[in-house]
Amino acid sequence: MEAAAYVSLFVSAFAAATILPMSSEAVLSALVAAEGFDIWFLIGIASIANTLGAVVNWVLGRYCLRWRDHRWFPVSASALDRASRWSARYGQVSLLFAWVPVIGDPLTFAAGVLRVPVWRFLLLVAVGKTLRYVAVALLAERAFA
């Protein structure tokens, strides 16, 4: 049962960072509220999985842009344009906000398009996403205590 909970958190956090419309905060909050789970281990799993999911977007942006005019392409032209403007305005540090709904996925995609070095991408995205999960987990712990 415990292993399944960790796998569920990993899968939900990974998928939430890709173009799939998912949220992992509810899964994390439920596990924080449940007995028997270490909060910091949960935060680690969610952060790693969510960062790895963002790498999928970076790879799509880096290597799949030639298909952007197709209807099935996962990022709309307007979302890519908005993310590119955000990135141009605030620089690579904007990747700290890759967790923000609606703009986060296009932002990580735009980082691939703009050829942000993967090590810098990983560092900035991981920091932002980890801080978000720390906040969510601590709020959930306080709410369910």
- Quote the pTM value: 0.86
66: amino acid identity, one letter: R
Cβ count near 142 (within 10 Å): 9
Burial of 76 per CB tally in 10 Å (0-12, 13-18, 19+): exposed
What would the pLDDT profile of 99-111 be if each residue is shown by its tens digit? Answer: 988 788 888 988 9
Report pLDDT digits (tens) over 23-47: 899 999 999 999 889 999 999 999 9
Domain interval for residue 64: 2-144
CB 73 within 8 A of CB 67: yes
What total of structural domains would you count in the chain?
Answer: 1
Q: How far is CA 3 from the centre of its chain?
A: 22
Integer CA distances (angstroms), 116 to 13, 37, 82, 102, 111, in order: 23, 36, 17, 20, 5
pLDDT at 74: 66
Joined tokens for residue 13: 């956090």
Q: Report the pLDDT value the prediction gives residue 91, as an integer from 0 to 100.
A: 83
Q: How far is it, in rounded angstroms, from Cα 82 to Cα 107?
A: 8
Contact 18, 57 (CB under 8 A): yes
User: What's the pLDDT at 120?
Assistant: 96
Residues of the chain with pLDDT under 70: 1, 74-75, 83
pLDDT of residue 139: 96
- Report pLDDT for 127: 98
